[in-house]
Amino acid sequence: MPVTAPPDEELDVLRRQDPEIADVLLGEVRRQSDSLQLIAAENFTSPAVLAALGSPLANKYAEGYPGARHHGGCEFADAAERIAVERATSLFGAEHANVQSHSGSSAVLAAYAALLRPGDTVLAMGLSHGGHLTHGSPANFSGRWFEFVPYGVDAESGLVDYEQVAALARHHRPKAIVCGSICYPRHLDYAIFREIADEVGAYLIADAAHPIGLVAGGVAPSPVPYADVVCATTHKVLRGPRGGMLLCGGDLAGRVDRAVFPFTQGGAQMHTIAAKAVAFGEAASPSFAAYTHRVVAHARLLAGALAAEGFAITTGGTDTHLITADPAPLGVDGRTARMRLAAAGMVLDTCALPYGDGRGIRLGTAAVTTQGMGAPEMARIAALFSIALRDDPEETARVRAEVREMARRFPPYGP
């Protein structure tokens, strides 16, 4: 099986009992094996992470924290969580880690719950400029319960306008400033954010959901020394199970822990926490650091190659795994581009363009790099993009076949 699939015996059990769902799982394995996963937030977890996720720890109820649970029989759950916390604090040089957040959004919710009260003013990147739903969307709890003031990126450079951030902070006196984005391809200057927060007496919350894996690999600056609370996911470049975590200083540890449980969550998902521990262990290895360097090098190559094909690359390039681009010069908008690329087996997202009318495309190199693809594949992918966008059925079919062949040539973690 090209992509990490459930072991044969487990699949057999499922196929016998529930062929309908077994078919769904196999269909997804096939989809992942013969198309290109270019969604910036996705990656392939290792078989060890999947083994922990599929383990009987999934059966265990464990409300509370190690040594202080509301359920019996938690000795192994406690061990899993202690190991996960130790590995996270040492990996990121943080005084405290909470590894129970069910997702990145839950981690942000907990950070707000730890530091804010409903009605407080929060300064965050506007959604059309790259902010996440939890940064003040009216469709999300954040926009309903807090007064968000949006900052943005410069129209010319596409870079965060730190002078605007400072001016808005002085004017609105927010209780917290959030730095972090779903599509900003450059490093953030956490020291400047800290300075601005200190000047107006605000907390600094870093939502590092995307770059935290690069931070672990030493290829992106760490928000940990600067932010009061760092929120993150464990499933993006970090390559762990779907989930969230929080990092903070010892002074806020109790508030952050209480904000996760019992304020915003119930029982911890111990199988996921064990899988997070496995991923933190992997991320501490020299081979993971080398992986993150390749991820960034590949994103730079791919961005350059896409620019050569005519795409307008936001900020002119990338420091990270992430590329955002406007395909308008090729005569299509982001939605059409996503559709045509998907028809050719290349899966990615659209994204808001702060100053354009249409939408752009957002993609990343974390998954294809885990598969072992390299510089020649990045160049080829850019070429295949522009062929697929022409929307010629015969050419698209040829690209689809080449994509299938390329994806199968690079099975993650195998053989």
Ligand X SMILES: *Cc1c(COP(=O)(O)O)cnc(C)c1O
State the catalytic residues. 61, 63, 207, 233, 236, 242
Task: From 73-81, 175-183, 194-202, 371-379, give the range in contact with ligand X by CB under 6 A.
Answer: 175-183
Locate 17 and state its tokens: 């009992």
Nearer to ligand X, 64 or 244 (CB): 244
3-state secondary structure the chain: CCCCCCCHHHHHHHHHHCHHHHHHHHHHHHHHHHCEECCCCCCCCCHHHHHHHCCHHHHCCCCEECCEECCCCCHHHHHHHHHHHHHHHHHHCCCEEECCCCCHHHHHHHHHHHHCCCCCEEEEECHHHCCCHHHCCCCCHHHHHCEEEEECECCCCCCECHHHHHHHHHHHCCCEEEECCCCCCCCCCHHHHHHHHHHHCCEEEEECCCCHHHHHCCCCCCCCCCCCEEEEECCCCCCCCCCEEEEECHHHHHHHHHHHHHHHCCCCCHHHHHHHHHHHHHHCCHHHHHHHHHHHHHHHHHHHHHHHHCCEEHHHCCCCCEEEEECHHHCCCHHHHHHHHHHCCEECEEEECCCCCCEEEEEECHHHHHCCCCHHHHHHHHHHHHHHHCCCHHHHHHHHHHHHHHHHHCCCCCC
Stretch that binds ligand X, among 19-27, 42-50, 101-109, 146-154 (CB under 6 A): 101-109
Stretch that binds ligand X, among 13-21, 53-61, 102-110, 287-295 (CB under 6 A): 102-110
Least Å from the CB of residue 11 to ligand X: 27
Residues in a beta bridge with 204? 177
Pairing of strands 349-352, 359-364: antiparallel
Residues 242 to 281: which contact ligand X by CB under 6 A?
244
Q: Minimal distance in Å, beta carbon 227 to ligand X?
A: 13
Is residue 41 involved in binding ligand X (CB under 6 A)? yes
Nearest of 372, 221, 183 to residue 291 by alpha carbon: 372
Rule CB under 6 A: choose which of 55, 103, 128, 137 binds ligand X. Answer: 103
Where in 113-132 is the site for ligand X (CB under 6 A)?
132
What is the smallest separation between the CB atom of 79 and ligand X, expressed in angstroms? Answer: 25
CA separation, residue 56 to residues 155, 271, 298 (Å): 52, 7, 38
- Least separation in angstroms between CB 209 and ligand X: 3
Based on the shown chain and the rule CB under 6 A, indicate whether residue 74 belongs to the binding site for ligand X. no
Name the minimum Å distance from CB 146 to ligand X.
15
Give the binding range for ligand X (CB under 6 A) out of 162-170, 202-210, 256-264, 286-294.
202-210
Residue 180 interacting with ligand X (CB under 6 A): yes
Q: Which is nearer to ligand X, 210 or 294 (CB)?
A: 210
Interface pick for ligand X out of 105, 272, 315, 350 (rule CB under 6 A): 105
Assess 101 for contact with ligand X (CB under 6 A): no
Q: Does the annotation list 188 as a binding residue?
A: no
The answer to whether the CB of 347 falls within 8 A of the CB of 38 is yes
What minimum distance in Å lies between the beta carbon of 218 and ligand X? 20
- Contact status: 322 vs ligand X (CB under 6 A): no
241 binds ligand X (CB under 6 A): no
User: Is 104 among the residues that bind ligand X (CB under 6 A)?
Assistant: yes
Which residue's CB atom is positioned nearest to ligand X?
Answer: 104
Candidates 84-92, 150-158, 207-215, 293-301 — which segment interacts with ligand X by CB under 6 A? 207-215
How many beta carbons lie within 10 A of that of residue 39, not counting itself? Answer: 16
Q: Is 132 annotated as a binding residue?
A: yes
Figure out which of the listed residues 87, 210, 239, 276 binds ligand X, where binding follows CB under 6 A. 210
Comparing CB distances to ligand X, the nearer of 106 and 396 is 106
Name the minimum Å distance from CB 108 to ligand X: 6
Number of residues that bind ligand X (CB under 6 A): 15
Contact indicator for 141, 109 with CB cutoff of 8 Å: yes
Nearer to ligand X, 328 or 361 (CB): 361
Interface with ligand X, residue 134, by CB under 6 A: yes
Residue 23: which residues within 8 A CB-CB, separation 6 or more? none
- 127 marked ligand binding residue: yes
Residue positions forming the annotated binding site for (6S)-5,6,7,8-tetrahydrofolate = 127, 131-133
Q: Which residues bind ligand X (CB under 6 A)?
A: 41, 103-105, 108, 132, 134, 180-182, 207, 209-210, 233, 244
